[in-house]
Structure 1
Amino acid sequence: MKSGPDIARIASLIGDPARGNVLTALMSGKALTATELANEAGVMPQTVSSHLSRLEAGKLIVSRKSGRHKYYTLADDEVAMVLETLMGFAAHVGHLRTRTGPKEVALRKARVCYNHLAGDMGVQMYQSMTAGGFLMKNDGTLNLTEEGRWFLAAMNLDVSTLPKSRAPMCRECLDWSERKSHLAGQLGRALLSHFLECGWACRVSDSRIIEFTASGERKFSKLFG
C-alpha cells in the first residue's frame, strides 16, 4: 500500500522488546525517569536513551523536566488504549510473561490501566453500570445516561466539574486479563481517583496493582455488586 497510515512504523517502535517493556511500565500512569525505565526494560541507561528518543519521535511518549530530572509518560489515552488492546491480544494467543505468583493474582483483580481501573473489579464496575442503565451505547458510542449522573451524584461525584479534556467522557477499553471491557475515558479516570481519595483503595508501590481495603471492597461491591 503506497498511501495511508504507516502502521509498520508504529509496530516497529512497539515491537522491540526493550521499548515494549518501557511502554508497559508507563501504563502505570506514573512519570518515570530514564534510569527507572532502564531497570524496567532490562537495558543499560546509555541504551535506554536511544529507545526513549525513538518513542518520543514516534509520538508514543512525551517528556518533561522537573528540576534536574527528566520524566517520561505515555503521550495520551489513545496510546494507552492501543497498548491495552495489544496486551489483551497477546494474552489471548498465549504470549505471556512468566507468572509472578500471588502478585499476579492481585494484578488481575484490580490494577491501573494508565489512569483508570482495570482487572476483574474494573470489568465488574463496567458491567454493573451498563446493567443498571447508567451507561448506554448509542450508534457505537458509549454515553453516560441521566440515571448515571444521578448515580454518580449520590457518590458525591459531579461530572460537570471534571477538568476539560480531549478524552471522551466514557470509553470502553478491552481488559487484557479478563478479555472483556472496562471503563476508560474521563469518567473512568474520575472514578479511580474517587476510590483513592476516599481511602477505599491505594496504589501498591512500584506496581500497577490497586489494593482495596476490606471496607473499600465492601462499599465497591455494594455499588457495583
Structure 2
Amino acid sequence: MDDALNIPRIAGLLADPARATMVWTLIDGTLRPAGELAFAANVSAQSASAHLAKLVAGGLLCSEAQGRHRYFRIASAEAAHLIESLASFGAAIHPRKPPHPPLVRAMPPQFLHARTCYDHLAGDMAVRVLQAMRDKAWLFDSGQDYQLTPLGHAQLAALGIVLDLSVKGRRPFARGCVDLTQRRPHLAGMLGAALLDHYVREAWVLRAPRSRVVSITPKGLAAFHQALGI
C-alpha cells in the first residue's frame, strides 16, 4: 500500500474536534477511562465510545480492560510525536492574534517551564537541556535525529544513565521534537525517555498526579547546573 494513502486516513482521525481533544488529553502518557475522555471532549458516552473505537482501530490509541472498565492511552511514542508535532505546527502557522492572547500567555508559567510530553521532558527546561547537550558536543545533528558522541556516552554513564546502543528498534534513538510553547526542539526518542526516567528516579524532577506539569527540585536544579551549566 502506498504510504501516501495513510496521510488522509490519519488526518481524518484527527479532523474531528472531539477525537482531537481526546488524544490531546492523553498526551501526558496517562491511562484514562472512557468516561473521563467523554467529559473532556464534551460528548455523550455513546459518542465517545464510537470515537475511541476509531482512534484505536487507526493506531493512535490502545485500550486495556481493568475490571468492568476500559482505559485508553496513546498507542506509541510515534503517535505521541505526531500529535504534538501537529499541535506545534498548527500553532506556528495560525498564531492567535489580538484581541486573543498569544498561546504562551494563556498557559501557566509552570507548564511553560517544565512538563511531560508522553514519556519525555518538554518545556523551556527541556529545550535548554537539548541545546546544552549539543553545545557540549554530547550530541551531534544527523538529519532530523541526533547521534550520541563518545563524550556524550561517557558523560551520561557518569550520571548513571547507561544506554545499550546495540539495541535497534522502530523508535528513533534521539529525535528533536519541536516544543509546543518554545518553538525550538526538545529531545524525544529513546534517549529522551531514558533521561526523564533518570530525572524522576534521582528526584531531579517531581511529577504531579493527573498533570503534565513537573517540578524541578533543588537537587535537580543543582544537578542540571553541574552537568550541563543550565
With normalisation by structure 1, the TM-score equals 0.89
The 5 Å alignment of 1:27-46 reads 27-46=27-46
Percent identity over paired residues:
36
* Correspondence for 1:220: 224
SS at match of 1:143: strand
Distance 2:225 2:91 in 1: 27
The CA deviation at 1:186 is 0.8
Specify whether residues 107 and 22 from structure 1 end up closer, same or farther in structure 2 by C-alpha distance, changes over 3 A only: same
* Correspondence for 1:175: 179
8 Å CA contact retained: 2:32, 2:73: yes
Specify whether residues 210 and 164 from structure 1 end up closer, same or farther in structure 2 by C-alpha distance, changes over 3 A only: farther
The CA deviation at 1:161 is 8.9
Residue 94 (str. 1) matches residue 95 (str. 2)? yes
1:174-208 CA deviation, whole Å, 9 max, x = no partner?
11111111101111001101111111111122211
Structure 2: runs of 5 or more not aligned? none
The CA deviation at 1:60 is 1.1
Q: Identify which range, 149-158 or 207-216, moves more after superposition.
A: 207-216
Specify whether residues 3 and 133 from structure 1 end up closer, same or farther in structure 2 by C-alpha distance, changes over 3 A only: closer
The 5 Å alignment of 1:145-156 reads 145-156=149-160
Structure 1: runs of 5 or more not aligned? none
8 Å CA contact retained: 2:104, 2:181: no
* Correspondence for 2:73: 73
Distance 2:155 2:90 in 1: 36
The CA deviation at 1:222 is 2.7
Q: How many residues align?
A: 224
* Correspondence for 2:208: 204
RMSD value, Cα: 2.6
Residue 17 (str. 1) matches residue 21 (str. 2)? no
Specify whether residues 100 and 76 from structure 1 end up closer, same or farther in structure 2 by C-alpha distance, changes over 3 A only: same
* Correspondence for 2:108: 104
1:192 pairs with one of 196, 213, 219? 196
With normalisation by structure 2, the TM-score equals 0.87
The CA deviation at 1:68 is 2.7
